[in-house]
Structure 1
Amino acid sequence: MKYGIALFPSKKLQDLANSYRKRYDKHYALVPPHLTLKTAFDAGDTEIKAIAKELREIAEATKPLHISIKKVSSFSPVNNVIYLKVDPTDELKALHEKLHTGSLNSNPEYAFVPHITIGQKLSDDEHSDVLGNLKMLDIRHEEVIDRFHLLYQLENGTWTVHETFLLGKESE
């Protein structure tokens, strides 16, 4: 089965992201707005139990994360993805690194750029037009996230939460 690990922002930020995703993200109905910590990976039932145990340990040793968003950006010309850029704090980068070691050991395909996708799979012209308009917005958002989620993919392509991990001992 395919799994992934993500942070879900507050409803306020999800509503903002979804106001654009409805129009510009073909994956809108498959997964809520999120910040990917570990991209899709395969694991069996026994394997995922060991991974979940490791994730609980990582969560316990990690304090809640402060995220800050101040602009819209893009991965162009690599691909036509438009996103809300999350400031890459040391704490966020450390959590990302921990989720690529131990039984989760892997080399990510791309460098870690914390973001929340709001548009993807756009034509070059549409991407350029939408990005130009969104860059003019004054987006400023800050919040603290106190949990991350292990997700799994259903047969229809949608992603759902398998387990939630609270950050820090005080979150218990």
Structure 2
Amino acid sequence: MKYGVAAFPSKEMQDIANSYRKRYDPHYAKITPHMTLKDAFRADDAKIKEIAIEIEKVAKRHSPFMMHVTKVSSFAPVTNTLYLKVEQTPELMSLHEDLHSDFFGGPPQFQYVPHITIAQQLSDSEHADIYGQLKMAGMDHKETIDRFHLLYQLEDGSWQVYETFRLTGEKS
């Protein structure tokens, strides 16, 4: 089965993201607006139980952190994806690194760019038009993230929560 790790922002931030996603993101109905912490990976039932135990340890080592959404940006020219850019804080980057230790398969394939996707699979002209409009709209949203989620993918491509982990900073 396919799994991933993500943090869900507040309803307020989800509503902002969904105002764009419902028109410009074909995955709108498949997953709630989120910030990916670990890209999709495969695991069987036995392995995912071990992974969940290790993720719990990671959550206990990290405290809640401030998520600061600063602007709309794009992954072009690699893909015509638009996203809400999340500031790279030391706390967020440390959590991301912990979820990419050797136990979890090592470093990610790509450099980590924290974000919340709002549009993807756009044509070149759609991308240019929408990005031109959205990058002029100011974005300055801050909120505390105090939990994250291990997700699994269903056969229809939608994602569901497997387990939720609270960031406690216990440093056990």
- The bucket for the TM-score relative to the shorter chain is over 0.9
Q: TM-score, normalised by structure 2?
A: 0.96
In 2, Cα distance between equivalents of 1:40 and 1:26: 18
Taking structure 1 as the reference length, the TM-score comes to: 0.96
CA distance in 2, matches of 1:49, 1:137: 43
Distance in 2 of aligned mates of 1:135 and 1:116: 15
Counterpart position of 1:167: 167
Question: Take 2:123 and 2:108, find their aligned partners in 1: how far apart are those partners?
Answer: 26
The number of aligned residues is: 170
Which consecutive unaligned segments of at least 5 residues does structure 1 have? none
In the alignment, the residues of structure 1 paired with residue 70 and residue 112 of structure 2 have an alpha-carbon distance, to the nearest angstrom, of 18
Distance 2:23 2:169 in 1: 40
Please name the residue that 2:54 is paired with: 54
Residue 169 of structure 1 and its aligned partner are, at CA, apart by 4.9
Match of 1:151 in 2: 151
Match of 2:90 in 1: 90
What CA distance in whole angstroms lies between the structure 2 residues aligned with 1:150 and 1:10? Answer: 17
The root-mean-square deviation of aligned C-alpha atoms, in Å, is: 1.0
Q: Which residue of 2 aligns with 1:131?
A: 131
| C-alpha contact 2:64 2:169 (8 A) present in aligned 1 | no
Q: Which runs of 4+ in 1 moved over 2 A?
A: none
Unaligned runs of 5+ in 2: none
Percent identity between the two aligned chains: 58
Following TM superposition, by how much is the alpha carbon of 1:69 offset from its aligned partner in structure 2, in angstroms? 1.0
The answer as to 2:114 corresponding to 1:105 is no
